[in-house]
Amino acid sequence: MALKNEQFVNTNELGRAIKRRREELGLSLRDVADVTDVSASTLSRIENGTGKPDADNIARLTGWLDMPIDRVMSRQSAKKVEAVVYYPHEATPEIVEAHLRADKNLTAETANALSELFRVAYKQFSKPGKK
Protein backbone atom coordinates (compact mmCIF):
# COMPACT_ATOMS: atom_id res chain seq x y z
CA MET A 1 0.00 0.00 0.00
CA ALA A 2 1.51 3.33 -1.06
CA LEU A 3 1.51 6.19 1.40
CA LYS A 4 0.52 9.68 0.29
CA ASN A 5 2.65 12.83 0.59
CA GLU A 6 0.24 14.51 3.00
CA GLN A 7 1.21 11.95 5.64
CA PHE A 8 4.79 13.14 5.45
CA VAL A 9 4.61 16.81 4.50
CA ASN A 10 3.14 19.53 6.66
CA THR A 11 1.50 21.49 3.85
CA ASN A 12 0.16 24.11 6.27
CA GLU A 13 3.73 24.88 7.35
CA LEU A 14 4.87 25.03 3.74
CA GLY A 15 1.96 27.30 2.81
CA ARG A 16 2.66 29.71 5.67
CA ALA A 17 6.34 29.88 4.73
CA ILE A 18 5.56 30.58 1.05
CA LYS A 19 3.02 33.29 1.84
CA ARG A 20 5.29 34.93 4.41
CA ARG A 21 8.31 35.00 2.03
CA ARG A 22 6.20 36.13 -0.90
CA GLU A 23 4.75 39.03 1.10
CA GLU A 24 8.17 39.98 2.53
CA LEU A 25 9.52 40.21 -1.03
CA GLY A 26 6.40 41.93 -2.38
CA LEU A 27 5.80 39.21 -4.96
CA SER A 28 2.54 38.02 -6.50
CA LEU A 29 1.65 34.36 -6.87
CA ARG A 30 2.47 34.71 -10.59
CA ASP A 31 5.94 36.10 -9.74
CA VAL A 32 6.68 33.12 -7.51
CA ALA A 33 5.26 30.75 -10.11
CA ASP A 34 7.63 32.17 -12.73
CA VAL A 35 10.64 31.68 -10.46
CA THR A 36 9.75 28.24 -9.05
CA ASP A 37 8.04 26.64 -12.06
CA VAL A 38 5.08 25.79 -9.79
CA SER A 39 1.76 27.06 -11.11
CA ALA A 40 0.13 30.07 -9.44
CA SER A 41 -3.02 28.04 -8.83
CA THR A 42 -1.00 25.31 -7.06
CA LEU A 43 0.78 27.96 -4.99
CA SER A 44 -2.57 29.49 -4.03
CA ARG A 45 -3.93 26.10 -2.94
CA ILE A 46 -0.80 25.39 -0.88
CA GLU A 47 -0.98 28.81 0.79
CA ASN A 48 -4.66 28.24 1.58
CA GLY A 49 -4.01 24.78 2.98
CA THR A 50 -6.05 22.96 0.36
CA GLY A 51 -3.25 21.83 -1.97
CA LYS A 52 -1.11 18.73 -1.69
CA PRO A 53 2.11 19.36 -3.62
CA ASP A 54 4.01 16.52 -5.23
CA ALA A 55 7.65 15.78 -4.42
CA ASP A 56 8.99 17.89 -7.31
CA ASN A 57 7.00 20.94 -6.22
CA ILE A 58 8.04 20.46 -2.60
CA ALA A 59 11.68 20.38 -3.68
CA ARG A 60 11.26 23.48 -5.88
CA LEU A 61 9.48 25.43 -3.16
CA THR A 62 11.81 24.55 -0.30
CA GLY A 63 14.67 25.45 -2.64
CA TRP A 64 13.10 28.85 -3.36
CA LEU A 65 12.46 29.34 0.35
CA ASP A 66 16.07 28.32 1.04
CA MET A 67 14.86 26.13 3.88
CA PRO A 68 15.72 22.56 4.80
CA ILE A 69 13.05 20.15 3.62
CA ASP A 70 13.00 18.75 7.16
CA ARG A 71 11.28 21.96 8.20
CA VAL A 72 8.10 20.93 6.38
CA MET A 73 8.22 17.25 7.19
CA SER A 74 5.36 16.10 9.41
CA ARG A 75 6.36 14.86 12.83
CA GLN A 76 2.85 13.91 13.97
CA SER A 77 3.62 10.22 14.23
CA ALA A 78 7.04 10.65 15.78
CA LYS A 79 7.21 9.63 19.44
CA LYS A 80 10.84 10.49 20.01
CA VAL A 81 12.37 13.95 20.31
CA GLU A 82 13.20 15.39 16.90
CA ALA A 83 16.30 17.45 16.26
CA VAL A 84 15.83 21.05 15.17
CA VAL A 85 17.40 21.33 11.72
CA TYR A 86 18.52 24.62 10.22
CA TYR A 87 21.32 26.00 8.10
CA PRO A 88 23.65 28.71 9.43
CA HIS A 89 22.68 31.07 6.58
CA GLU A 90 19.01 30.99 7.58
CA ALA A 91 17.55 34.18 9.00
CA THR A 92 17.27 34.35 12.78
CA PRO A 93 13.43 34.43 12.75
CA GLU A 94 13.40 31.14 10.79
CA ILE A 95 15.73 29.50 13.30
CA VAL A 96 13.70 30.75 16.28
CA GLU A 97 10.51 29.49 14.64
CA ALA A 98 12.02 26.03 14.21
CA HIS A 99 12.94 25.92 17.89
CA LEU A 100 9.51 27.10 18.99
CA ARG A 101 7.78 24.47 16.84
CA ALA A 102 10.03 21.77 18.29
CA ASP A 103 9.19 22.73 21.88
CA LYS A 104 6.96 19.94 23.16
CA ASN A 105 5.57 22.25 25.85
CA LEU A 106 3.94 24.54 23.27
CA THR A 107 0.88 23.88 21.16
CA ALA A 108 1.23 24.51 17.43
CA GLU A 109 -0.96 27.60 17.76
CA THR A 110 1.15 29.01 20.61
CA ALA A 111 4.41 28.31 18.75
CA ASN A 112 3.04 30.10 15.66
CA ALA A 113 1.87 33.08 17.71
CA LEU A 114 5.23 33.39 19.48
CA SER A 115 7.02 33.08 16.16
CA GLU A 116 5.00 35.93 14.66
CA LEU A 117 5.61 38.08 17.76
CA PHE A 118 9.32 37.42 17.46
CA ARG A 119 9.31 38.28 13.74
CA VAL A 120 7.66 41.64 14.41
CA ALA A 121 10.04 42.48 17.27
CA TYR A 122 13.08 41.31 15.33
CA LYS A 123 12.15 43.40 12.32
CA GLN A 124 11.58 46.45 14.52
CA PHE A 125 14.78 46.14 16.55
CA SER A 126 17.28 44.66 14.11
CA LYS A 127 19.72 47.00 12.44
CA PRO A 128 19.08 47.62 8.72
CA GLY A 129 21.44 45.85 6.36
CA LYS A 130 22.54 43.25 8.90
CA LYS A 131 21.40 39.68 9.29
The domain in which residue 64 lies consists of 7-80
Cα separation, 20 vs 76, in Å, equals 23
The alpha-carbon radius of gyration of the chain (Å, integer) is 15
* Residue 87, phi-psi category: left (phi > 0), alpha (psi -120 to 50), beta (remainder): beta
Residue 86 has phi, psi (to 5 degrees) of -155, 165
In this structure, the answer to whether residues 49 and 95 fall within a common structural domain is no
Is residue 106 one of the residues assigned to a domain? yes
Whether 101 and 90 map to the same domain: the answer is yes
Distance CA 112, CA 126 (A): 20
Same domain flag for 75 and 11 = yes
- pLDDT (average), residues 105-130: 84
pLDDT at 78: 45
43 confidence band (pLDDT: 50, 70, 90): very high
Instruction: With a cut of 60, say whether residue 76 has pLDDT above it.
Output: no
| pTM (predicted TM-score) | 0.61
- Low-confidence winner among 48-52, 79-83, 94-98 (lowest mean pLDDT): 79-83
Average pLDDT value for residue range 9-13: 82
* Residue that wins the pLDDT comparison between 87 and 68: 68
- Judge if 73 and 90 occupy the same domain: no
Q: What is the pLDDT, as a whole number, of residue 84?
A: 61
Using an 8 Å Cβ cutoff, are 55 and 18 in contact? no
Mind spelling out the 3-state secondary structure of 20-61?
HHHHHHCCCHHHHHHHHCCCHHHHHHHHCCCCCCCHHHHHHH
Rounded-to-integer distance, Cα 122 and Cα 36, Å: 28
